[in-house]
Amino acid sequence: MVNKENSSPKELAEKIAAMRRGGRILGNLLRDLKNYVQPGMTGREVDAWVRSEIVKRGAGVAYDDLEEEFPGAICISINDQLVHGAPSDEIFEEGDKVSFDEVISYGGYYVDAAFTMIVGGSGSSAVKKMIAVTESALWEGIEQVKPGARIGDIGHAVEKVLRKGHLGVIENYIGHGIDKKMHQAPEVPNYGKKGYGYKLVEGDTICIEPMSCLGKPANYVDKDDGWSVKMKDGSIGCHVEHTVLVTADGYEVLTLPDPE
């Protein structure tokens, strides 16, 4: 990771400025995407809109930078799909759970964020509760971020909220460091022990991304598209995420939209 221990003040300032700007672009894009999605749309239609908007807003389509070609500009995971869903011609129906996971590039740096929603707004109370609890877990994890905090502090906080909400805790997909690379050290699991793991330093940038499910956490990669991670028991999965900067006295969430 780039941090104050191994980069010059100028490099760190450039990184923070670029990631702040990129994060704001991404936050606004995802806010607008949530308002854009309607029943009757398909994943491919949404993907085309997202690609156009990324370019229009002056950022880069990060998934185009992957060594292994991903068939889209955004991950779209429907119902029993947990993460990494490849955009398809499946039609969004009223009450579907859909998770959107997006990475963009700006000024040579990456930012990453995700949200889960119910298409059309009406859906099962259990799914609504799952989304609310998982979002609470994300913010509880974010609240642990400060110089000197350990990665285990974040994971412990996330896991505690998810288990209290009686949700399945996904352990084989985790958060990560991010800046000039989309995924880099340190790993940021959604479980952990207080006081253990990498010690955060001012200037670090990490992605905290709780993943949960209504059933058992076992999952697999769909052989049909080679990307979509699905729940083995067919239960509904959930994924939320923000990119977070470690500041001198705490944290700054970089992927929030402009205040309304």
**Three-class secondary structure of residue 145 per DSSP:** coil
**Residue (of 69, 119, 79) closest to 225 by Cα position:** 69
Measured CA to CA, the distance from residue 38 to residue 88 in angstroms comes to 15
In a domain, residue 259? The reply is no
| 6 vs 222, residue with greater confidence | 222
In a domain, residue 152? The reply is yes
Structural tokens at position 254? 């970089």
6-10, 83-87, 236-240: lowest mean pLDDT where?
Answer: 6-10
Element of type H or E holding 163:
helix 151-164
Residue 4 clears pLDDT 50, i.e. is over it: no
**Residue (of 104, 146, 96) closest to 124 by Cα position:** 96
Res. 21 pLDDT band, cuts 50 70 90 = very high
Terminal C-alpha separation, the chain:
33
**Residue (of 161, 124, 138) closest to 235 by Cα position:** 124
| pLDDT tens digits, 227-252 | 999 999 999 999 999 999 999 999 99
How many domains does the chain divide into? Answer: 1
Structural tokens at position 196? 């253990």
- List the CATH number of the domain containing 211: 3.90.230.10
In a domain, residue 1? The reply is no
- Over range 23-50, report the average pLDDT: 98
How many CA within 13 A on the CB side of residue 29? 33
Q: In the chain, which ranges are E strands?
A: 60-61, 75-78, 81-83, 97-106, 109-118, 168-169, 175-177, 184-188, 205-208, 211-213, 219-221, 229-231, 237-239, 242-246, 251-253
Task: Please say whether the beta carbons of 249 and 146 come within 8 A.
Answer: yes
In a domain, residue 67? The reply is yes
In a domain, residue 112? The reply is yes
| pLDDT tens digits, 93-104 | 999 999 999 999
Structural tokens at position 55? 């370019």
Residue 2 clears pLDDT 90, i.e. is over it: no
Res. 6 pLDDT band, cuts 50 70 90 = low
| pLDDT tens digits, 161-190 | 999 999 999 999 999 999 999 999 999 999
Q: DSSP string of 176-226?
A: EE-SSSSSEEEEE-SS--TT-SPBP-TT-EEEE--EEESS---EEE-TTTS
**Three-class secondary structure of residue 230 per DSSP:** strand
In a domain, residue 4? The reply is no
What range defines the domain where residue 79 resides? 9-253
